[in-house]
Structure 1
């Protein structure tokens, strides 16, 4: 399998080494760029907050417990703590960067945890930190971090649409599961997953054949016992197992041992599709990782969050359109008789009548 060479790409983040080594190298280069972007963003946000609040970098913190503590020291400490929080929450983990919402959730969580920690420390130490200073640094830094990650994703998506920065996948499963996986990956080229080979368990796993799906052909490279040889042939950096009932837990464990020193990732696809991520929850039971699919309903914190959003959003919309509604009500009243609101009865849930005003 021929991977993009350094000369064939306009950016040096793509390397010419095959397989898992190439993937580790471009991921490491991408993560380094994220570190630089995050550092510049956090530094700019905190320095801007201090300059806007005080107009200088030589200001003393009002504190009874600590003397001669300037905001310059506070700024340096806040930047260092912010970068440490991003690292602790693994916001630049190769498993979350580039796709999905987990990367953004970790950035938000790390930022709010940091400012909560700063607030507690300031309270316990008797530091009277300027509220406007923190009020500027928090939203500005968070917005900058999210925007920076989004811009990097856009750039990586363009590279992947051109066939670069791909995660090459070897699938172990039935022909139907391989076809479904190819079709799923073809719908999201920005995610960068590309099936380069398949091993079908049992007597059907014959070498030399191909599987056609989503306009591409994937070669058959044997059965579940030929995974290591197929990896050497294709240079794939990820193995996806869909036929867990044929491979078995012992087979998966043995394959993990064989791949331990190769740097190849092993992924088990449960075959659950078109279900949103929040409804899936992994729960280990008796040593077995079971995936529980929650019912499509809101409860607890999710119900509170949804209700709060509905109420706040509705109030904002009503406030925004209220001048137009008032003008329409006046026009109706001046040009026609009767009430401004038209009342009617509709049949709702479980046959209950509901009164509507329009």
Structure 2
């Protein structure tokens, strides 16, 4: 959790000395020049070499066109902006831009009446794709590291009702990959701010007599705290004309404003802004659970599970023999889990505990180290020596590939719960059962058993509401590192 910049919990206007604006609020200046230089070199040099190789007339001119067109496409797509470098989904943007580059160059050749060239010439554009993607990844990782170290941050003043401010603070504190750090607040009304964020001054719950009063209060707080940006959380007492006039005053002073609609864990691709009769409309697309994307996921799950079973069959046999010979009992453990739409199914694992582990569980309830419905112990006495090794590297989960093949589970999804957990779920937690459980998921690649119950539910709901094929690919790629690391596996 990123600490707040000011330790006080109650401030009054003028009591805080002006804090100089530090350089941590801006990103390093070398991001832009590096990106442009990589794009120019990545397009110009391979294209020139390829056209020389195929004896294309005027190879340097053609390479210059490609070199200039590539950054121009990137500029048009706003790929050199701070928000683009902070976006972890940059690979998709690079691929889209690259396809535009190929199409644009092909169109230009036709319009100029040039003859077709061998395919090798256009393959010279491939380095531009990989170099730009690699450069974006380097910048993105450097930016995340800078934010974790307290640099490249923007100081935020939050305006809203007390409980809403607490919700905003809690949501931002869950992660450190964003650029915002809250330095103060201006609560609306007299509700307490329990999150510990400093209170500069309060706004009246009712609209003041003159619109300038809100503006003077918020601008005074922003100046005293050297805030770079103001977050305004809307409420019945801070919306409509009052919010409009406040935004005017902030913009006239050159202070950016962000309006928080109150929804959380909604992927940006699901959000679309439109307007009608002066109203700003925020459209939120439903999750991808039907149609072609869902059919594609089902096909990838079945085919992927079958392929992995065939490839890993020697390892599965060896592990089954090791478990069978390592301790008394069967090699496999069958347990009832709850799947999509609250439907139970038999889930298979390699046995990692003694045979009567289920009976002994009731005796260990007091030692549960999880703060939610799950039962987890770092030093569970029921786990066998071989079982500890299997759990550390998630090898005990491999038989679940057969559950994926049978359609009970997916390769990626929420953790499959046991029935005694589900009976204690509230309506929010029940939403985890709207999709198939997964062999791996955001829970496994984000810390596994080291996560709190609230963090586990939050990750699962993020997946349920924002699933996409690219998210599955990202989770599966991260699973390899998580398994080798073994963190949180016990």
Say which of 116, 126, 132 aligns to 2:114. 126
> Do residues 148 (structure 1) and 148 (structure 2) align?
no
CA contact (8 A) 1:170 1:197 kept: yes
Distance 1:270 1:257, change over 3 A: same
Match of 1:79, SS state, is helix
What are the within-5 Å matches in structure 2 for residues 84-163 of structure 1? 84-101=72-89, 103-124=90-111, 125-138=113-126, 140-163=127-150
Q: What is the deviation of 1:176?
A: 1.0
Q: 1:189 maps to what in 2?
A: 176
Q: What is the deviation of 1:235?
A: 0.7
Match of 1:171, SS state, is strand
Q: What is the deviation of 1:99?
A: 3.3
Alignment: residue pair count: 297
Rounded Cα–Cα distance in structure 1 between residues aligned with 2:38 and 2:298: 36
Say which of 178, 202, 208 aligns to 1:222. 202
Match of 1:195, SS state, is strand
TM-score of the two chains, using structure 1 as the length reference: 0.70
Q: 1:76 maps to what in 2?
A: 64
Q: Deviations over 1:13-43 (max 9, x none)?
A: xxx9517x974xx34x54x523323422441
Match of 1:245, SS state, is coil
CA contact (8 A) 2:157 2:227 kept: yes
Match of 1:91, SS state, is coil
Q: 2:443 maps to what in 1?
A: none
Rounded Cα–Cα distance in structure 1 between residues aligned with 2:152 and 2:231: 18
> Do residues 40 (structure 1) and 31 (structure 2) align?
no
Rounded Cα–Cα distance in structure 2 between residues aligned with 1:145 and 1:123: 27
Rounded Cα–Cα distance in structure 2 between residues aligned with 1:295 and 1:164: 36
Rounded Cα–Cα distance in structure 1 between residues aligned with 2:58 and 2:73: 23
Match of 1:183, SS state, is helix
Say which of 286, 289, 301 aligns to 2:280. 289
Q: What is the deviation of 1:93?
A: 2.4
Q: 2:245 maps to what in 1?
A: 254
Match of 1:169, SS state, is strand
Q: Deviations over 1:172-211 (max 9, x none)?
A: 1111111111111111212121111111123x28xxxx83
Match of 1:191, SS state, is coil
Q: Deviations over 1:99-145 (max 9, x none)?
A: 353x544433222222112122223423323322222423x222221
CA contact (8 A) 2:231 2:259 kept: yes
Match of 1:258, SS state, is helix
Q: 1:211 maps to what in 2?
A: 193
Distance 1:130 1:262, change over 3 A: farther
Q: What is the deviation of 1:242?
A: 0.7
The runs of 5 or more residues in structure 2 that have no matched partner are 7-18, 205-213, 317-338, 344-404, 408-490
Q: What is the deviation of 1:356?
A: 6.4
Match of 1:128, SS state, is coil
Rounded Cα–Cα distance in structure 2 between residues aligned with 1:123 and 1:312: 39
Match of 1:190, SS state, is coil
CA contact (8 A) 1:182 1:194 kept: no
Q: Deviations over 1:206-244 (max 9, x none)?
A: xxxx8342xx53223221721111111111111111134
Say which of 15, 21, 25 aligns to 1:18. 21
Q: 1:243 maps to what in 2?
A: 234
CA contact (8 A) 2:48 2:62 kept: no
Q: 2:471 maps to what in 1?
A: none
Rounded Cα–Cα distance in structure 2 between residues aligned with 1:119 and 1:272: 44
The runs of 5 or more residues in structure 1 that have no matched partner are 4-15, 62-68, 329-347
Q: 2:478 maps to what in 1?
A: none
CA contact (8 A) 2:88 2:140 kept: no
Rounded Cα–Cα distance in structure 2 between residues aligned with 1:100 and 1:272: 21
